Chains A and B, each alone.
Chain A
Amino acid sequence: MITSLWAGLATGSIYTLIAIGYNITLTTAGVLNFAYANIVMIGAFVAVSGLALGLPIWAIFILAALVGAIVATAEERVAVRFLPKGDHAELITTIGASTVLTGATALIWGNTALRVDLFPQVPLQLFGGSVQPNSIILIIAALVLGVGLHFFNTRTKFGLASLAHAFDRESTMLRGVNVRWLSIVAFAASGALGGLIGPLVGMTTTATPFIAITLAIKGFIALYCGGVGSQAGAIIGGFGIGIIEALANLWLGPNYGDFAVFAVFLAILLIRPQGIVGTRMLRSV
């Protein structure tokens, strides 16, 4: 039971981290970057290659963040910058970008799942359940990032300016905020973050190109259940979904985790469409 809870928190931390990445671009550029999970996976693959080359761990993280930032910026330039207004075009282009990245990672690193061994994993006994040290790091990272960005968005001028942009691009532009620049910075920052956490996520999931889309979808559900645009919501949604999935797998059987997540998602859609902590919805979602 406790071990299951730990497992739930561990996968939940990954969903939270994905949801946080979505929120960064959503609340600044107004675009949900469906390819974000692919960037995380690229970070994991960079770690695999870095380890093979014998790079030190700090260098691996820096390299992963750098690659993530470059890929995300390139994506912004190609798939987001020229988006026509309305029509849900971003769905198509970012799903397209995600598909390209999945294919490209499979071409570069192959189809098989690769282990990411940054440091030796010895399960710890905590509160009567066993948990991998890496999972603890991920849980802490998700909490720290989520809480930190939540306060950044709600307490700082830059955070508020970017929120304003997401809600009303035109008037923000008139107020002298450079929205083009904001969009690029948001993608680069979220890409760097995605690359940075990639090696850690890869230690849990292994590095494999085809898991990205599952993470992308679960991350969206976490984002949505918590409340679109809210980093605090991302924490609640991500960990909530992770725990529900783990417990359903434990109590109902190994195939029921996804059903439980789907049921919760549909229930929230029907009962509380703005999400658990959400107050209003971004127009684009």
Chain B
Amino acid sequence: MSTVKVETRRGGSTVAARRIPRFVTALLWVVVIAVIAITPLLGLDDQTQRQVILTAIMVLLVSGVNLTFGWAGELNMGIPAMYAAGAYVGGYLYIHVLNDVVVGVIAGGLAALLIGIITGVPGLRLGGWVLAIVSFFVVILIPSILQVIPANVVGGSVGLIGIPAPMLFGQPLTSQGFFAFVIVVTGIWFAVYRNIVKSRVGDSLLIVQEGRVLAPSLGLSRYRLKLMAYAVGAIPAGMAGALYASLDRFIGPESFTLQLAINVLAASIIAGRRSIYPIIVGAAFVQFINVRSSDFAQYGLVVFGALLIVGGIAFAGGIAGLGRRLLKLVAPKRFRRGAASTATQSTARTDSDYAFPALPGKLLSVVDVRKTFGGAVALDGVSFEAKPGQITALIGPNGSGKTTMLNIINGFYPVTSGTVSLGERTISSMPSTKVARQGVARTFQTPVVPNGLKAIEVVASGHLASKSVPLIATILRLPFYGRVRRSELEEAHEILVQLGLDQFEQQPGDSLSLGTRRMIELARSLASKPSVVLLDEVASGLDTHEVIELARVLRLVSRAGATVVLVEHNFALVRSLADMVVVLADGAVLTSGPPAEIEKHPEVLRRFLGEMAGLSGTSIVATPSTTAKGK
């Protein structure tokens, strides 16, 4: 019966409900762009037309900054340089090669992309201030670059003059025609931007921002994703530059200053660094202030600088986000997200015949692994095997090296000596992203659930690295993208149903309770169809009910064939669950064997079980396979 329920839900919420809105948004966007594009025919005067074009250019620049700043979490101050690259390349083409705005816009975008790659490759190795300064410095270099390039090419410090009136496919464009062109280009790019950030790519970028450990553990390269976002973010700036070259038909170095970088950043802050449609508002606002204060640029500096301070502190959602928060205070009920999270736990779905789809478990063998940190020895010759279809528990007191062992298995730490192999392959020398792609999934002692994703998307993110979709398919929303996305969301839904968590799936993942986040993490690790699942104290912070539920799920996972490695303090849970127990003490294996043997081992009893067995931390009271409690 529950299966039927699942079917209808899936049909109703995740798949069918989506298709119509997407089609409607796209159509609506086309209509909006078309209407704006023809406003000059409806009597929009020249002066306003120019302001709208400048705002559109600002929109392009801000969307580029948002891609880097909001979605990759890095600050790009080099936007004026990218803008200049597009403007000069466009201007040069129009004068000397071919006067066609489409060609100019494309060439401008590519020129900026090149700047993005040149500055991004070194700057993003460390990110943060380093990228900000590298990109900032390119802006300082603009005048020198213009001096160095012969004046007959780009006009030196005087500027590039004599850019011909814009033409499209050999036809001269009227001012209304050019206006429409700018709006259409901006509209198209905007759709591209939206489709990039509202996609698996956007999800990956949010994961990248959630610290250093999560992305690699899911097989995602932080560096590559950040570089992608930064480089793609340069493209609209270059396009904007080429448009600007046709607008004024003159380009001078004074248009590409650090001040412009500050303006764009301020617009991004106003809109919210991860915003989509509010970008238009932010851009319009900054453009408005610029027109007002063109004689008093210093006022603009003070205003925008103050905005950056306020925005930097208010961060979460920019000033738009502040407004939303205020709105929430005023109208709390409407905006409160599903209060169901505090409601009763769902009843576990104990379909005893349910089985996870087969998981390709592999033998994990750790051979004589040593790990030292400086002089401290964390692991001193540890060897054990974890077999597919079994649950292997690593137990031991704090500081005995359990988590270090997990970190070595999934590639966060290199071994000092020894090997870790998975099936036939040695994984101890691989970087963590590659280990993850070999099928090693894990959870963390403190659950790492990225901000900005719904629970179901968090679970589906376990899948991101295993199926890559080309960026172009993502942007155009080709059927291939839809298929991959739909199937991974369905699988995520299925896993959540099995874990009894489907009621939370539409809620923001990071707002859930600790226990639920732990289970969400477990679900995420299962979504990648892993060979090995590493669980770091997955039961701590769970209530009894949740622990029973967890034990049931873990049995299903190992029955499906996966190799499960469990680091756990709760010996009662280990006893009821594990096929094999490895006891670590002071970085070495004290003993190993089936739990029944371990609990009688005199040394183990003396050192950590003692009379407190089953009482510390969370405990599991009674599951079918639990024997009577040890005395």
B126 — which chain A residues lie within 8 A by C-beta? 269, 273, 281, 285
Q: How far is the CA of A256 from the CA of B147 in the complex (A)?
A: 10
- Chain B residues 147 to 183 lying within 8 A of chain A, measured CB to CB, are 147-148
CB–CB B144/A255 < 8 A: yes
A78, A87, A259, A265: which contacts B315 (Cβ < 8 A)?
A: A87
Asked whether, in the complex, the Cβ of B300 is within 8 Å of the Cβ of A103, the reply is yes
Interface assignment of B38: CB less than 8 Å from any CB of chain A: no
Nearest-Cβ distance from residue A62 to partner chain B, whole angstroms: 28
B307 x A96 contact (CB < 8 A): yes
User: How far is A125 from B317 in the complex, measured between Cα atoms in Å?
Assistant: 59
Q: How far is the CA of A193 from the CA of B156 in the complex (A)?
A: 39
Chain A residue numbers with a CB within 8 Å of B123 are 269
B132 contacts across to A, CB distance below 8 A:
91, 95
**A156 contacts B by Cβ under 8 Å:** no
Stretch at the interface among B134-142, B437-445, B605-613: B134-142
Is A70 among interface residues, defined by CB-CB distance under 8 A?
A: no
Q: Is B581 an interface residue (CB 8 A)?
A: no
| Docked-complex contact A285 and B130, CB < 8 angstroms | yes
> What chain B residues lie within 8 Å of A214 (beta carbons)?
140
Q: Indicate which residue in B125, B136, B262, B307 contacts A217 across the interface (CB closer than 8 Å).
A: B136
Q: Is the interface of A mostly helix, strand, loop or mixed?
A: helix
Please tell me if B394 contacts chain A, counting CB pairs below 8 Å: no
B301 at the A interface (CB under 8 A): yes
Are A93 and B309 within 8 A (Cβ)?
A: yes
Alpha-carbon distance between A47 and B362 when the two chains are bound, in angstroms:
73
B305 touches A99 (CB 8 A): yes
Complex-state Cα separation, A106 to B126, whole angstroms: 34
Task: Name the CB-closest residue of B to A78.
Answer: B309
What residues of B have a CB within 8 angstroms of the CB of A89 in the complex? 312-313, 315
Cα distance, A108 to B306, chains bound together (Å): 17
Q: What distance in Å separates the Cβ of A263 from its nearest Cβ neighbour in chain B?
A: 11
Q: Is the CB of A96 within 8 A of B134?
A: no
Docked-complex contact B129 and A92, CB < 8 angstroms: no
Say yes or no: A82-B122 contact (C-beta < 8 A), given A93-B308, A102-B305, A258-B144.
no
B482 proximal to A (CB < 8 A): no
B230 at the interface (CB under 8 A from A): no
Across-interface contacts of A28 in B (CB, < 8 A): none
Residues of B within 8 A of A78 (CB): 309
In the bound complex, residues from chain B placing their C-beta under 8 Å from that of A281 are 126
A107 within 8 A of B: yes
- The answer on a CB contact under 8 Å between B125 and A273 is yes
Contact A95 B308 (CB under 8 A): yes
Residue in B74, B134, B209, B301 whose CB lies within 8 Å of A269: B134
CA distance A100 to B305 in the complex (A): 5
Q: Give chain B's interface secondary structure class.
A: helix
Q: Counting CB contacts under 8 A, is B288 at the interface? A: no
Contacts of A88 in B (CB 8 A): 73-75, 128-129
Number of chain A residues whose Cβ lies closer than 8 Å to a Cβ of chain B: 46
- Report chain A residues within 8 Å CB of B133: 217, 220-221, 224
Q: Which residue of B lies closest to A79 (CB)?
A: B309
Kindly identify, within residues 303 to 327 of chain B, every residue whose CB is under 8 Å from any CB belonging to chain A. Answer: 303-309, 311-313, 315-316
Q: With A and B bound together, what is the CA distance between A284 and B132 in angstroms? A: 13
B243 within 8 A of A: no
Q: Which of A146-199 contact B (CB under 8 A)?
A: none
Question: Complex Cα distance A273/B303, Å?
Answer: 36
* B269 interface residue (CB < 8 Å to A): yes
The answer to whether A221 and B137 touch across the interface, beta carbons within 8 angstroms, is: yes
**A97 contacts the other chain (CB 8 A):** yes
A83 to B302, CA, bound (A): 20
Q: How far is the CA of A100 from the CA of B313 in the complex (A)?
A: 15
A230 to B134, CA, bound (A): 21
Most chain B CB inside 10 Å of its own CB: which residue of A104, A213, A281: A213
Do B73 and A87 touch (CB < 8 A)?
yes
**In the complex, what residues of A have CB within 8 A of residue B73's CB?**
87-88
With A88-B73, A92-B75, A217-B140 known as contacts, the answer to whether A99 contacts B134 (CB < 8 A) is no
Q: Contact at B129–A32, with CB atoms within 8 Å?
A: yes
- In the complex, A23 has a CB within 8 A of chain B: no
Tell which of A86, A92, A106 touches B301, judged by Cβ atoms closer than 8 Å: A106
Determine if B122 and A93 form an interchain contact, defined as CB atoms under 8 angstroms apart: no
Q: Are A92 and B312 in contact (CB under 8 A)?
A: yes
Binary per-residue interface labels of chain A (248-264) against chain B in the complex, 1 for a CB within 8 Å, 0 otherwise: 00000001101100100
Chain A residues within 8 Å of B130, by CB = 224, 269, 285
B265 interface residue (CB < 8 Å to A): yes
B129 touches A96 (CB 8 A): no
Residues of A near B258 (CB, < 8 A) are 213
Whether, in the assembled complex, A84 has its beta carbon less than 8 Å from a beta carbon of chain B, the answer is: yes
Q: How near does chain B come to A81, taking the closest CB pair, in angstroms?
A: 9
Tell me whether A255 and B147 are in contact (CB under 8 A): yes
Judge whether A11 is part of the interface by a CB distance below 8 angstroms. Answer: no
Asked whether, in the complex, the Cβ of A217 is within 8 Å of the Cβ of B129, the reply is no
CB distance from B317 to the nearest CB of A (A): 12
CA distance A126 to B129 in the complex (A): 39
Q: Which residues of B contact A208 (CB under 8 A)?
A: none
Q: Quick one: which of A100, A213, A220, A258 contacts B309, CB cutoff 8 A?
A: A100
Q: Which 5 pairs between the two chains have the least Cβ-Cβ distance?
A: A96-B308, A103-B301, A99-B305, A92-B312, A100-B305
What are 21 A-B interface contacts by the 8 Å CB criterion?
A: A79-B309, A83-B312, A87-B209, A87-B315, A88-B75, A89-B312, A89-B313, A96-B307, A103-B302, A103-B303, A106-B298, A217-B140, A220-B133, A255-B148, A258-B140, A262-B141, A269-B123, A284-B128, A284-B129, A285-B128, A285-B129
Given A83-B312, A92-B75, output 9 extra A-B contacts at Cβ < 8 Å: A78-B309, A84-B316, A96-B308, A103-B300, A107-B298, A262-B137, A266-B122, A270-B125, A273-B126
